[in-house]
């Protein structure tokens, strides 16, 4: 995206089973591979590292309230096209389409997107604030989802 901005994304959900449970082993074992693919995708800029994400997910006063079954990612991408390609067209899409196998039905697939200035690395607190904005006020320029981008014409026709 031109104009000195990049696209930040936060997605999260609650696993059906605890980390280490054999019923989510396939999902859990794919995390490193999917993260490595993201890092090699054109347009990938940054992702909150696993240790920082773990610490945030286990913090009782943190954005996820120490839910031990939370799975989440926070990343920054050059533009909409780059993130869309990773989400839908890479191996990530194959796992995403099976999310019902691993995530609680009523607590999966939470996603918020927002523009950040080039060079900015958002915090989880910032991401959750954007998610709350999206939930409370609907999609707007400061917190949105792919559907909003599609409606605004910011998701190119070739990617729909």
pTM (two decimals) = 0.91
68 compared with 48, residue with greater pLDDT: 48
Task: Name the band, by pLDDT with cuts 50, 70 and 90, for residue 148.
Answer: very high
pLDDT of residue 89: 87
Q: How many CB atoms lie within 10 A of CB 66?
A: 12
Q: Is residue 30 predicted with pLDDT exceeding 90?
A: yes
pLDDT of residue 1: 42
Residue 145 CA to residue 160 CA, distance in Å, equals 13
């Amino acid at each position: 995206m031109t104009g000195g901005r990049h696209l930040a994304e936060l997605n999260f959900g609650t696993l059906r089973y605890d980390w280490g449970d054999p019923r989510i082993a396939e999902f859990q074992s794919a995390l490193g591979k999917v993260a490595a693919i993201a890092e090699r995708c054109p347009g990938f800029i940054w992702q909150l590292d696993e240790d920082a994400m773990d610490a945030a997910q286990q913090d009782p006063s943190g954005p996820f309230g120490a839910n031990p079954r939370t799975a989440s990612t926070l990343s920054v991408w050059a533009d909409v096209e780059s993130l869309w390609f990773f989400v839908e067209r890479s191996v990530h899409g194959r796992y995403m389409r099976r999310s019902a196998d691993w995530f609680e039905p009523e607590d999966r697939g939470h996603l918020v997107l927002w523009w950040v200035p080039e060079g900015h690395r958002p915090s989880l607190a910032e991401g959750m604030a954007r998610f709350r904005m999206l939930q409370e006020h609907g999609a707007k320029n400061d917190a949105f989802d792919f559907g909003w981008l599609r409606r605004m014409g910011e998701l190119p026709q070739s990617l729909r």
